[in-house]
Structure 1
């Protein structure tokens, strides 16, 4: 009995000491908390109180975009991209938003892109900072319209117009008689290029030019029993990818294109030029129909046992 009483007293003393220690910790925390200044709630800006919906500035359409749906239909959406903008919310409004994308108070291009990269930092946007568009001091808003319900650059039929704003030579090539069907919307710039940047040449989606072409023209890939060397090297040796006045996107019509590399005494490969055409007075109409491809039809390569000359 005496032993049980001693054990009870020991346990009671141990519990009492632990309770005292806990109370001391709470007391110290209360003291330290009282010494710390209490943070005042951040002032909120009533963005929609001033930025009303108009036909010219359809700002409220952002609620119908993925950005508005993710961030919620309140000022959180505006603040997420434009920053707190507390000073901007004061009257008179002589101060710009914390981050401005408009022409009146434009922020630096890299500051604008940094906001987008806060979320869009993976996938196709991974190489943006090393891409050519970033080097040219363009921001995401140079191509994208964030407030629009449907961003034109994401529509296949409209996308090329955004690219043509800067790439005028490509726009001219797209209207030539031989072209990729970009204007028809059957293919787009991003089918071959990554506008957000890539480690490959010309920001191509694939590592090389040939890999890009072969992604659609797989029948030209080979391997062939008899290969045409330029095909294995690079397609652009003979072709202009954006458009050409010659058939099949060729840089020059045959036989002139072929004779830039091929000239042999045992073959009828005399160098031809415009002086031999019929309208020159001393020309021949037979020159018009001359083309190496008339015989060497398998110009990309042949698997025929007798196709060493790429004739079959």
Structure 2
């Protein structure tokens, strides 16, 4: 008798929780309908009178949720922090009837969110407005519908996007070709974390090409390689045009990150005219190692009066 009673009690509990799990029709909503529902909730403005306490009544057992209080977004002493204002609802939207068995949706972020990237990002951009973000709307990441939460982690003591030791891994998780180049024999010191991708690029967009912080490739390179800046009395055309004509900035298998070995690199522009450096020429004092650089060592430019051929 007791066993039967216990069986029906457990059965009733199972049915109860099953009904709750099925009482979330919004989890199956199309993105457009979900967005409209959330928009209506915002216009309704039914925020909880108890703020985060209402959320933590259910979510405090989640380590991922509680990690918020280890970072800047959960700092109640910072007036610019969401936790100092509407708290959880500042980002996740008005609670409404959500705490009554999860009957209403809340804004969620990340790969598991049913909202598109633009809707998620609009919440972040509500607070984060700065000169570094002024080009975001025209950036490749925004146009490719990359969500802020794809790179940034809010519920954490330290956002990995601001951790110098984690930035490169975060970028190369998507930019796999560039990630492979970083580990080639000739490269900038990325693999020792002495340089990061954001030393050159602004992931939130920039007016120049490839989201470079400087307006051009050359201006970016000259930030560190100032001795190549010039102006020179005798200039080398491909150098003044674009450093990337000869170099792969992410790394390569040739010396000095060059795209090809010398003389093949030079002969992409300089046709074989019987000069001693041609590939099929025999060894001589002028072409040992088949390298144009044996003589033309000042390939980035020369200020020597007799340096027209970039030899001195």
- Give the TM-score, by structure 2 length: 0.77
Among 90, 99, 104, the alignment partner of 1:89 is 99
Out of 155, 167, 174, the residue aligned to residue 159 of structure 1 is 167
Contact 2:139 2:205 (8 Å CA) reproduced: yes
**C-alpha spacing 1:253/1:72, structure 2 compared with 1 (3 Å):** closer
Larger deviation: 144-153 or 65-74? 65-74
Residue 68 of structure 2 corresponds to residue 62 of structure 1: yes
Q: 1:303 to 1:232 in 2, by over 3 A?
A: same
Indicate if the aligned counterparts of 1:67 and 1:77 stay in contact, CA closer than 8 A. Answer: no
CA 224–86 in structure 1, closer or farther in 2 if over 3 Å, else same: same
Shift of 1:113: 0.6
Aligned to 2:215: 207
User: Which structure has the bigger radius of gyration?
Assistant: 1
Say if 2:220 is the partner of 1:220.
no
Q: Provide the residue aligned with 2:299 in structure 1.
A: 299
Higher relative contact order, structure no. (Cα contacts within 8 Å, ≥ 6 residues apart) = 2
1:49-93 deviation line (CA, Å, top 9, x unaligned):
111244xx43222223222223375783211111112232212x2
Q: Distance in 2 between matches of 1:103 and 1:295?
A: 56
Which residues of 2 match residues 238-277 of structure 1 at below 5 A?
238-263=246-271, 265=273, 267-272=275-280
Measured on the aligned residues, the alpha-carbon RMSD in Å equals 2.5
5+ residue gaps, structure 2: 1-43
Give the Cα separation in 2 of the matches to 1:187 and 1:302: 29
**Contact 1:65/1:148 (<8 A) preserved:** yes
The 1:110–1:265 alpha-carbon spacing in structure 2 relative to 1, beyond 3 Å, is: closer
Conserved 8 A contact 2:96-2:104: no
Q: Structure 1: any 5+ residue segments left out of the alignment? A: 1-38, 277-282
Deviations 1:230-266 (A, max 9, x none): 1101001100110100000000010111111113636
Matches of 2:45 and 2:56, distance apart in 1: 24
Displacement after TM superposition at 1:43 (Å): 3.6
Between 1:58-67 and 1:130-139, the stretch displaced more is 58-67
Helix, strand or coil at the partner of 1:161: helix
Alignment partners' CA distance in 2, 1:204 and 1:41: 43
Q: Check conservation: 1:298, 1:310, Cα contact below 8 A.
A: yes
Listed as ranges, the matches of 1:163-182 within 5 Å are 163-182=171-190
Task: Figure out how many residues of one structure are paired with residues of the other and give that number.
Answer: 261
Report how far residue 267 of structure 1 moved: 2.7
